[in-house]
Amino acid sequence: MNKIPLKEQSIVLIGFMGVGKTTIGQVVAQKLYRDFIDIDEEIERRFQMPPRDIFAKYGETVFRQHEKEIIFEMCHKRLKVISLGGGAFLQKEIQDICLATTTIFFLDLTWDKWKDRIGLLIDSRPVLQGKNMDEIKQLFDDRQPIYEQHHSRVITDDQEVEEVADYIVDSLKLAWELYA
């Protein structure tokens, strides 16, 4: 497979659920005049039901298989901004394909800030359901190492969506200039 030139690579956003990958991704896509793709929405379109119902009806393994298939399809498209579900990087093959074909930004939010968002997330995120706060904190901590596979980290604590998007766009422009 030919290496995709840096400037044409799709931008991939990773990070724990609810850190703002979709919201920030949409703004980054607008600023770069690119299409935005949300992998969870693509899975939802395929099944005609949200992830919570896919987990309940078919189980997590089926969800993860489709997640992988769709990400493999999308990674070969150029000039997109793609938001991944928070569990996608649990699969090493997904990490590898994204590292090889896209530019990956890790949206990093501390536990202290993240835990304030839990009320907004709990109903729609199957992996949080049935867990107490300690177990959710454990999941948060366990997931952090998988996000270390990235090209750039963005600290999102106390940052507005617009500020994070601007940071991503500015750092991309710099990288494109430096490494063109």
Residues found near ligand S3P in the complex (CB under 6 A): 17-18, 21, 40, 51, 85-87, 125-127
Closest CB to ligand S3P among residues 7, 50: 50
Instruction: Give the shortest CB-57-to-ligand S3P separation in angstroms.
Output: 14
Closest CB to ligand S3P among residues 71, 172: 71
CA distance 124 to 114: 16
Torsional class of 48: left (φ above 0), alpha (ψ -120 to 50), beta (otherwise)? left
3-state helix, strand, coil in the chain (%, to 5): 60, 15, 25
CA distance 133 to 67: 27
Closest CB to ligand S3P among residues 21, 80: 21
Instruction: Give the shortest CB-169-to-ligand S3P separation in angstroms.
Output: 21
Instruction: Give the shortest CB-53-to-ligand S3P separation in angstroms.
Output: 11
